[in-house]
Amino acid sequence: MSFQFPIRIYWEDTDAGGIVFYANYLKFMERARTEWLRSLGIGQQALRERSGGMFVVSETQLKYHRPARLDDELLVTAELRQTGAVSATIAQRVLAKNEPTLLLCEGTIRIGWVDTATMRPSRIPADVAGTLERECSSISQPLKP
């Protein structure tokens, strides 16, 4: 089961046509990933202070299926697909909350671990890597469209 985070669409999220501006889906996904990590016991600010490193987005791939509009309620999912020594790939979907089979947007986000002083790639701390590996191994089936 993937992590789900609810989002409501506000006026500031829409464009002149009254639909969600395409780049805002990335913001929604960022919020869901942050809360997903928090649900795993990984608080990013505390982790940065403790380890001197942080996650950064290194790659995104999105596909838009249907628009969301003002006042819509959405569910944004996050599900770990792959983890490595310095990066992880998360599959994400944006669904209509009142009709969770209605797919609005989907994509994958790759996050990489960097040393905050140099902004160079570094190994994910062992405790975080272990948590991510356990999460990855607990996935029993892929996301369905």
Active site residues: 15
CA terminus-to-terminus distance, the chain: 14
- Tell me the one-letter amino acid at 23: A
List all residues 6 or more positions away from 129 whose beta carbon is below 8 Å from its beta carbon: 83, 85, 123
